[in-house]
Structure 1
Amino acid sequence: MENYKDLCNQILENVGGKENVSGAFHCMTRLRLTLRDKSKANIDALKNVKGVMGAQFSGDQFQVIIGTNVASVYPQFCEVAGLSEEKAVDENLDTDGGKFNIKELPRTILNYVSGSIAPVLPIMLGAGFFQVFYSILGTGFLNVLPKNSAFMQSLYIFGKVGFYFLPVYVAWGAAKKLNTSIPLALVLGTILVDPNIIKIVTAGKPFKVFGLLNMPLNDYSSGVFPPLLAVWVLSYVYKYVDKVIPKSLKVMAVPFCTLVIMFPITLCILAPIGNWLGIGITAIINTIYQVAGPIGVGLVGALWMLMISTGMHIAIIQMAMASIFSVGYDPIVFVGSTVANYALMGLVLSYFIRSKGEEKQLAGANTIAIIAGGVSEPTIFGLLFRNKKAFIYQMIAGGIGAFVSGILKVQYCTMAPGNFMNALGFTGGSGNNFIYGVISCVIGFGIALLLGLILGFDDKKKA
């Protein structure tokens, strides 16, 4: 294994030493630190450390952008810093004790939503490919096989199972995020798509839970917000019930009493609120699209990489996903971001072609990361933030390509990987949606590639 201890020591030196680090973990590309004294972080010095692509604060968290090899750096950093890989050895005793902070509420909500959905993404992506093949082979595109063939029916069933039962999957992810009872969370997710409940909703006849509370007749299949709200409340109810029930009765009484409370609350209050929330977010997106039209999509394409760098994309993605699950497509966010991703691929490819020596090695690694792995952060912090021309090229290419997709009324319908297969998300739409989506991506990719090759990049380079 490669030795990163010198890099780790330099990082520690520029964040105030190991005494100033109370915790550390990592994501796909970033080393995320909790600092006792944020003023001791020397961001400018860190950016010039070889192996560091950038550094920034995100709320109370200090992020050091390493790249795709951060998973190898992290264990050595914990060793050098004297930290456990799970949590800090020496906790900061000067914390606020978990007091509620209204300023942190938006970030807390976003962390909960994204942390609950992240474990579910492999399910959506895996099932999404079945939907992609169903759309390509069916009457919507190539018209190779009839819909009633056994093969097409199999694709349809396997594709839908990843989305119809989304409340169950999200409930599981939310329970993991909140560290509450996963079995009970799965029960709450299942009740939202239970066939008996679906029959009642389909029949349209009034129904009272336990004969007392009216249940709104909503279809929660493929819903995200109903299980998120239900599991959030479950985390408190389960903790309270587990606390008050005598130890000798816990095995049977805790799950029963918890569900007695949660079933009516979920079906009569929380799930309807979650459903209204999804409908409201979808209405907001559609209103923006109707007012801004292609310009709105173009702005997403032009500014998407900036949104990723600041973390703003997390909130916007949740809105777009709500739109897909509610009406079956998103006309703005995923459309613009997909075109922006292809523009970034074209840009990093042109940089790889023009670069030499050590810069070429870095460019090659970034090219593979974004095209094959769909990881954009190394390129954002390693190229765009260090090269003004590159950022301008990216904004121009992403903006123009996304603007064209807005004019062509492209819709993003299926969850697809963020790598070179990202355009598969345009399958499943009506008419020439997939073709128009691919055209927009080619435009973004081509403009970025040509701008980079013809106009070149800044001469100033950093190690």
Structure 2
Amino acid sequence: MSKFSNEAKELLEFIGGKENVAAVSHCVTRMRFVLNDDAKADVDKIKNIKSVKGTFTQAGQFQVIIGNEVSTFYNEFVKISGVDGVSKDEAKKSARQNMSLLQRMISHLGEIFAPLIPAIVVGGLILGFRNVIGDIKLLQDGTKALTEVSQFWAGVHHFLWLIGEAIFFFLPVGITWSISKKMGTTQILGIVLGLTLVSPQLLNAYAVAGGAEAPVWDFGFTQIKMIGYQAQVIPAILAGFTLANLEIRLKKIVPGYISMILVPFLSLVPTVLLAHTVLGPIGWKIGSVISSVVYAGLTSAFGWLFAAVFGFGYAPLVITGLHHMTTAIDLQLISEIGGTNLWPMIALSNIAQGSAVWAMVYLNKNDEEEKQVSIPAAISCYLGVTEPAMFGINLKYVYPFLAAMIGSAIAGVISVGGGVLANSVGVGGIPGILSIQPQHMFTFFLAMVAAVGIPFGLTVFFNKKNITFTKK
């Protein structure tokens, strides 16, 4: 008998039995259920199972947090229940039957960027390191950067741009590939499409916006401007979905014996043409409007209010999955204005959630079992991963979650009020300071102090005053 046998039986019972499970899969730390009737799941009893760290519903899936041994627990659950496990992709497809149109759109957006996150994080770290050695005047009484006094570090600074440029400048290639992968279409066509958006022969759209005259493809009866969409998100998304949907439809009507020849040709060529005549210009305009609105809101006289609302509400956005939208907005802001004032607030929210957990560690310092969950969760928060802390600790007790939201809001106001901009999206939490533009690092540090101190202090205060925000 497995050590999880009894707990797996309990979970099956409390989830509503085998007949209530439409699909089940698992990821790194969670069991993911698509239930026929969510109301049949007894959440309180499930949370009382010893191995369960917490539960939540997101993207049409009822998710049960198990931790690092989730694969062992999952195997035992499948064995006991007789429910056939499915892949995460199949579970997501099944889950969409329970989603609204907006939820499905957010789910798609999240699935596009999820495979790109490792590269974006690496790119953020690299640009952050280049910040430190190339832009901060640390030497000779604060007059010179490391690259100005050392040829070695100057060479490192120059070399690292090769990777940073590949990740961010050529981001459309990753986006169109990710869409083709997600949609189950030909991935190499997605890559080729992305390359046609960033080809060196194309004039950068930013140069065109600055007044440069773009060369043209001259067809005699008409001309098409040779404009590239380097670092652009929305043109790549529009083009990627157009290619994938066109390929899917063509496969249904083109006879199999000529499909290998006609489908790639009739999918790719029209999509590239549309990308450079319709989708690219429209996507560029949409992206410019979105970034302008967000930037104007954060730099206006009411920017502090926008910052407070975003800082307070970002953690709940993570629960709903809506936070996936912020990656696209961040990248658009970086490409449009050379930095993002949104990303620093996300990093501060990570820190705030972790600080609330540290307060719970302090309050439960004699509870060894609680500390085994809380300490790793707090550390992961400070490194930008908030899920274990939010679902395993803060939401469980409620008042630490609220304390973290308040701290995040105040830290966000400090950040936006000080005009803090990040050069890139990178690792969240404390390492996020590496992504901050050098002239704003001190202000961001002050915001970090607020994100640490306020949630910690409020969590302890709420506990001591028995203010738990839960029904007695």
TM range (shorter): 0.7 to 0.9
Tell me which residue corresponds to 2:148. Answer: 146
Tell me which residue corresponds to 2:442. Answer: 435
Label 1:451 to 1:60 Cα distance change in 2 as closer, same or farther (>3 A). closer
Q: Displacement of 1:64 after TM fit?
A: 2.5
- Aligned residue pairs total 449
2:21, 2:36 within 8 Å by CA — same for their partners in 1? yes
Spell out, residue by residue over 1:216-263, the C-alpha distance to the aligned partner (whole angstroms, 9 max, x if none).
564410111222111211122212333444444333333223222222
Separation (CA, whole Å) in 1 of partners of 2:401 and 2:463? 12
The residue identity in structure 2 corresponding to 1:344 is: Q
Structure 2 counterparts to residues 174-185 of structure 1, below 5 A: 174-185=179-190
Label 1:401 to 1:204 Cα distance change in 2 as closer, same or farther (>3 A). same
Q: Percent identity?
A: 26
Label 1:443 to 1:68 Cα distance change in 2 as closer, same or farther (>3 A). farther
Q: Which of 202, 227, 233 does residue 224 from structure 1 map onto?
A: 233
TM-score, length of structure 2 as denominator length: 0.84
Q: Which of 419, 428, 447 does residue 454 from structure 2 map onto?
A: 447
Separation (CA, whole Å) in 2 of partners of 1:70 and 1:4? 10
2:197, 2:229 within 8 Å by CA — same for their partners in 1? yes
Tell me which residue corresponds to 2:382. Answer: 371
The residue identity in structure 1 corresponding to 2:127 is: Q
Tell me which residue corresponds to 2:370. Answer: 359
- Consecutive unaligned residues of structure 1, counting only runs of 5 or more, are none
Label 1:70 to 1:418 Cα distance change in 2 as closer, same or farther (>3 A). farther
Instruction: Work out whether 1:20 is the aligned partner of 2:20.
Output: yes
Structure 2 counterparts to residues 234-273 of structure 1, below 5 A: 234-273=243-282
TM-score, length of structure 1 as denominator length: 0.86
Q: Which of 297, 303, 311 does residue 321 from structure 2 map onto?
A: 311
Q: Displacement of 1:166 after TM fit?
A: 0.3
The residue identity in structure 1 corresponding to 2:148 is: P
Instruction: Work out whether 1:74 is the aligned partner of 2:84.
Output: no
Q: Secondary structure at the match of 1:329?
A: coil
The residue identity in structure 2 corresponding to 1:30 is: R
Spell out, residue by residue over 1:249-279, the C-alpha distance to the aligned partner (whole angstroms, 9 max, x if none).
3333332232222221121112222222211
1:132, 1:424 within 8 Å by CA — same for their partners in 2? yes
Structure 2 counterparts to residues 193-232 of structure 1, below 5 A: 193-198=198-203, 204-205=213-214, 207-208=216-217, 214-215=223-224, 218-232=227-241
Separation (CA, whole Å) in 2 of partners of 1:155 and 1:54? 41
Label 1:223 to 1:199 Cα distance change in 2 as closer, same or farther (>3 A). closer
1:15, 1:40 within 8 Å by CA — same for their partners in 2? yes
1:329, 1:411 within 8 Å by CA — same for their partners in 2? yes
Separation (CA, whole Å) in 2 of partners of 1:459 and 1:392? 11
Separation (CA, whole Å) in 2 of partners of 1:3 and 1:323? 50
Q: CA RMSD in A?
A: 3.2
Q: Secondary structure at the match of 1:411?
A: coil
Q: Which of 131, 135, 147 does residue 131 from structure 2 map onto?
A: 135
Q: Displacement of 1:453 after TM fit?
A: 5.2
Separation (CA, whole Å) in 2 of partners of 1:441 and 1:285? 22
Separation (CA, whole Å) in 2 of partners of 1:239 and 1:399? 45
Tell me which residue corresponds to 1:392. Answer: 402
Q: Displacement of 1:396 after TM fit?
A: 2.8
Q: Displacement of 1:124 after TM fit?
A: 1.6
1:68, 1:369 within 8 Å by CA — same for their partners in 2? no
1:23, 1:35 within 8 Å by CA — same for their partners in 2? yes
Spell out, residue by residue over 1:353-399, the C-alpha distance to the aligned partner (whole angstroms, 9 max, x if none).
33122222222232233235x32122212222232432332133222
Spell out, residue by residue over 1:401-458, the C-alpha distance to the aligned partner (whole angstroms, 9 max, x if none).
22211221111222221343122221xx2x5212221221122112333444566465
Tell me which residue corresponds to 2:141. Answer: none
Separation (CA, whole Å) in 2 of partners of 1:323 and 1:144? 28
Instruction: Work out whether 1:295 is the aligned partner of 2:305.
Output: yes
Tell me which residue corresponds to 2:432. Answer: 422
Label 1:239 to 1:211 Cα distance change in 2 as closer, same or farther (>3 A). farther
